[in-house]
């Protein structure tokens, strides 16, 4: 049986007992979510924050609580984000932390982020095994923070982070691409054209520069 304990973070503490009922930590316990989902408590469907870090999950779990706004999955063994896994969430996640996993580009599909297009503001994919910029980022219309640092990315294709076919600015205020294998001289001039401040894009150092 999985025991869900309260996440004693600053947000929950500040909001009091009622907020703590909507925040749960299930880290370091080798969680294996059941096919029926995260049930087992009458308050589970009201959860707004769920921490499943430091387990042995190999993919983002299905049947997440519908009201979830913050999902923390760092330090697992996650290799893929199944398509439509977030499609049932209302209004959708604001923060998704997948740092320190085993994600590759093949494990992220065009519909992996379906359900988050108008809600997600923070996406952490650093310290994974990505060799290219993941698909589907252009659909995340409210994204402000994107972390892709400490991966194996070599190139930033056109229309992977900024859509040059539209003239509007992106809400992105911070993009981390440092400690990859990117040759900065090969980055297309308009690759980050939608970002208001070029200083918001962190490209230094790259992994090969640390070795020099």
pLDDT at 19: 53
> ∠ at Cα 15 (11, 16), nearest 5°?
120
Range with the poorest average pLDDT among 8-12, 30-34, 80-84: 8-12
Asked whether the predicted pLDDT for residue 69 surpasses 60, the reply is yes
pLDDT at 36: 38
Number of structural domains, the chain?
Answer: 1
End-to-end C-alpha distance for the chain, whole angstroms: 51
Asked whether the predicted pLDDT for residue 15 surpasses 70, the reply is no
pLDDT at 208: 87
Rg (C-alpha) for the chain, rounded Å, is 18
For residue 48, which of 23, 72, 15 has the smallest C-alpha distance?
23
pLDDT digits (tens, 9 = 90+) for 30-64: 555 554 355 545 567 789 999 999 999 999 999 99
> ∠ at Cα 57 (55, 60), nearest 5°?
125
Range of the domain at 87: 1-212
The model's pTM is 0.86
CB-CB contact of 185 with 156 (8 Å): no
C-alpha distances in Å from residue 82, one per residue of 78, 96, 108, 109, 110:
11, 14, 7, 8, 10
pLDDT confidence tier of residue 196, bands split at 50, 70 and 90? confident
Asked whether the predicted pLDDT for residue 3 surpasses 50, the reply is no
pLDDT digits (tens, 9 = 90+) for 132-172: 999 999 999 999 999 999 999 999 999 999 999 988 889 99
Residue 127 backbone phi and psi in degrees, to 5 = 55, 55
C-alpha distances in Å from residue 125, one per residue of 4, 105, 128, 150, 185:
25, 11, 7, 9, 24
Q: Can you tell me the mean pLDDT for 185-203?
A: 93
The CATH number given to whatever domain includes residue 1 is 3.80.10.10
Count of beta carbons in the 10 Å neighbourhood of residue 41 = 15
pLDDT at 26: 73
Non-local (6+) Cβ contacts of 152 within 8 A are 129, 130, 131, 180, 181
CB-CB contact of 77 with 103 (8 Å): no
pLDDT, greater one: 78 or 32: 78
């Amino acid at each position: 049986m999985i025991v869900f304990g309260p996440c004693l973070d600053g947000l929950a503490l500040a909001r009091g007992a009622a907020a703590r009922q909507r925040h749960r930590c299930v880290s370091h316990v080798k969680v294996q979510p059941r096919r029926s989902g995260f049930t087992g408590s009458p308050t589970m469907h009201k959860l707004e924050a769920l921490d499943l870090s430091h387990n042995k999950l190999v993919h983002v779990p299905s049947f997440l609580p519908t009201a979830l706004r913050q999902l923390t999955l760092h330090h697992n063994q996650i290799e893929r984000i199944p398509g439509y896994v977030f499609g049932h969430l209302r209004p959708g996640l604001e923060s998704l932390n997948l740092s320190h996993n085993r994600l590759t580009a093949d494990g992220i599909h065009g519909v992996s982020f379906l359900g988050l297009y108008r809600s997600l503001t923070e996406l952490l994919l650093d310290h994974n095994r990505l060799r290219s910029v993941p698909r589907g980022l252009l659909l995340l219309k409210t994204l402000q923070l994107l972390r892709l640092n400490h991966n194996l990315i070599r190139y930033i294709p056109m229309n992977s982070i900024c859509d040059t076919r539209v003239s509007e600015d992106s809400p992105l205020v911070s993009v981390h691409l440092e400690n990859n294998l990117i040759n900065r001289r090969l980055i297309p001039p308009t690759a980050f054209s939608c970002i208001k401040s070029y200083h918001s894009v962190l490209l230094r150092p790259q992994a090969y520069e640390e070795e020099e």
